[in-house]
Structure formats: structure tokens, C-alpha cells
Chains A and B, each alone.
Chain A
């Protein structure tokens, strides 16, 4: 078990809470809460040690591209970078839209 934290600047605040993903092998859950400020404060807890650089790269790419800001908690159970990216996109979608997911295309 390893925990680390990153901060990324951004300009697209989360407007509502989001919870995506599942607690399961090779998966992860992402929790987003709106917060003041112009950065994303990301806290990761992972069951698999030794992938700091991979996490940094995946998160940097995501937050640079989408600029999401807020308080973000990630609980990882050995997900691949591809799964992490999709969960982050789901979290972005949920946390920056005020409609319910089914009301959108």
C-alpha cells in the first residue's frame, strides 16, 4: 500500500461531487469534491507499490488536457493506465455537468 499526492493547476472547477469506478481487482474508484482554488489536489492510495512515475505521467496528461480542479481522491486496486484514464474521464463528466448522466448523449 502506497499513498502519494499531486497538485495540478487548472481552470475547470468541479461543480458537484462525483464517484465513479468500483472497488475491485485491476480497477479503481475516483471521488471528486468541489473546492475553492485553481488547482486539483489529488491523493492516491494504491495497493501496488512502485508505480509513482506511471501515476505522475497519467495524471499530468489528464489534468494538463482537461484542467479539472477540485479535491480528488483515488483508491487504486492495480488498474492499468488505460483503465485509470477512462475512470478519470467519467469523473470529469460527472463532476462538471449539473445534469444527470442519462440526460446527456
Chain B
């Protein structure tokens, strides 16, 4: 799912604050003139703008805001962040995990493109501290083509060797499933789609319909 300006779910979007200033709570992490949000999965907008999720320092500080194309200053995809180091971090395990992933043999990740999301992706894109001591590493794998449960299991096994807990989503075009859930069993899995979560046994089959 892509907005007209090319932003996809998980992309980090820098937008001009004056346009949305009266809608932003005071805790939103921002620069003087702009703030950053993450494109939400429900972000289908006919006018090419984006529905963004904004964060503050606390886990409970989250707010959704809609911005129009003309407010958008910059769009950064998670996979563009993989060579950036996390500097001065409070979470050395997470920083080391990112460092390992940045130079990993692509086969360890099933040959799939990866990118950091969540607090790590936010901090790498914006330079604004967001990672906490207790943060997991959130990441996505671009899985436009089917990934077998066996391959998912091998990727999961590798991620478990990293010095930080990793929370990985398989992004499969029109939705996403948790790598751990896909790898775990042979029953139904939860597919997150722009219109809400659904249960499916074959996420890729559903995507092709």
C-alpha cells in the first residue's frame, strides 16, 4: 500500500509542523519547524497525504495525525537506514544487533531486504533519541514473494542469536505477519491489513486475490 507521494507503511515522514501544530500534543518529539511520524497501516488517502503515528518519550505517548502532500518534507524507508550507526545509545545490545545486521550475509535473512522500524528506526532516521534501555529491536523483512515456514524458522533462529530481543514483521505487500508466528506452527496466523487484522493460513494467497 503506497500513498501518492510514495510513502509506504513504516516509512518515516518529516512534515512541516505549522500545518499541524494545533493538533500536536506538547510531548511529540520534534525539531523547531518539523516533526517526524511513521506511516500507519491504515494510511489509504485519496489525496496522496499520509496518516502518521507520532511518538513521545513514553510508551503511552502516541498520537495519530493526518498530513497532506504539501506538508511532507522528507520520506525515509526503513531499508535506507541499515548502514547508519546508532550513536551514543543507552542500549548497547540493540546497537550491536544493528551493527551485526548491517553487514550480515543476506542468506541469514532468507535473501530478503530488511530495515529497522520502531524506536530504532525513528532514532536512525531523525537523530532524535527514542531508543530506551529496555527497547527491543523492531524490524521488517520485505517478503513480496512467499516465504516458507521453514525459511522463516531459520531466519528466526538467526535473529535469536543477536544480543537484543528482535521483533520482526514479514511485510508482504498488502499486509504483514509476525515472523515468529509464521515460523511457529502450521495453523492460522494474524495478517495485519490496512482495513484491520484477519486470520489466514496463507497470507500470500490472500494478498494475490
Contact = CB atoms under 8 A, between A and B. Distances in A.
B197 interface: yes
A90 B199 contact: yes
Contacts of A25: 118, 136, 138, 167
- How many of chain B's residues touch chain A, expressed as a range? 20 to 34
B109 to A, nearest CB: 18
A105 B130 CA distance: 44
B188 A101 contact: yes
A49 interface: yes
A102 B186 contact: yes
Residue of B181, B187, B198 with most partner-chain A CB within 10 A: B187
B60 interface: yes
A27 B186 contact: no
Contacts of B186: 101-102
Contacts of B181: 21-22
B188 A24 contact: no
Contacts of A48: 59-60
Interface residues of A, number: 21
A86 interface: yes
Contact of A86 (B169, B187, B190): B190
Contacts of B198: 86
B60 A27 contact: no
Contact of A90 (B59, B118, B138, B188): B188
B53 to A, nearest CB: 10
Given A90-B199, A102-B186, A50 B60 contact: yes
A83 interface: yes
Given A25-B118, A47-B59, A83 B178 contact: no
Query: Can you list the 4 inter-chain pairs with the closest CB atoms, starting with the nearest?
Result: A101-B187, A24-B167, A22-B178, A82-B196
Given A22-B181, A101-B187, 5 more contacts: A22-B180, A24-B180, A48-B60, A86-B197, A90-B199
Interface of B: 59-60, 118, 136, 138, 167, 169, 178, 180-181, 184-188, 190, 192, 196-199
21 contacts: A21-B190, A22-B178, A23-B180, A24-B167, A24-B169, A24-B178, A25-B118, A25-B138, A25-B167, A48-B59, A48-B60, A50-B60, A80-B197, A82-B196, A83-B190, A86-B190, A86-B197, A89-B199, A90-B187, A90-B188, A94-B187
